[in-house]
Amino acid sequence: MSGLFESIKQGLNEAIEFERGNLPNVKTDKITVAPLHSYNAGEIKEIRTRHHMTQRLFAEALGISVKTVEAWETGTNSPSGVASRMLELLQQDNGLLERYSIVARHCH
């Protein structure tokens, strides 16, 4: 148990020294996160239709109810944070759902 305590103590001391600027050779990466886009009804419908999907298929692909898609597309409700990120990915990448085997297109 004392080994674990010493490891934690060392880590905390290093964090304090880093914050004080006493560890100049430590490499750090700064990560920024893009703000969430607030999608309106028209944008959501455009994303869905660009993927050639009905509301039912779109809902199934996203793991949500058809009523949720309907509410989004009528402006009654708005997508949550996670759903907004997924819509952003779908807006940027038309092949996303197929590439990750979420949907498969069968030509007849």
pLDDT (tens digit per residue) in 15-60? 887 778 777 777 778 899 999 999 999 999 999 999 999 999 999 9
Class of domain 41-99: mainly alpha
CB atoms within 10 A of CB 72: 25
The structure's pTM equals 0.74
pLDDT (tens digit per residue) in 58-75? 999 999 999 999 999 999
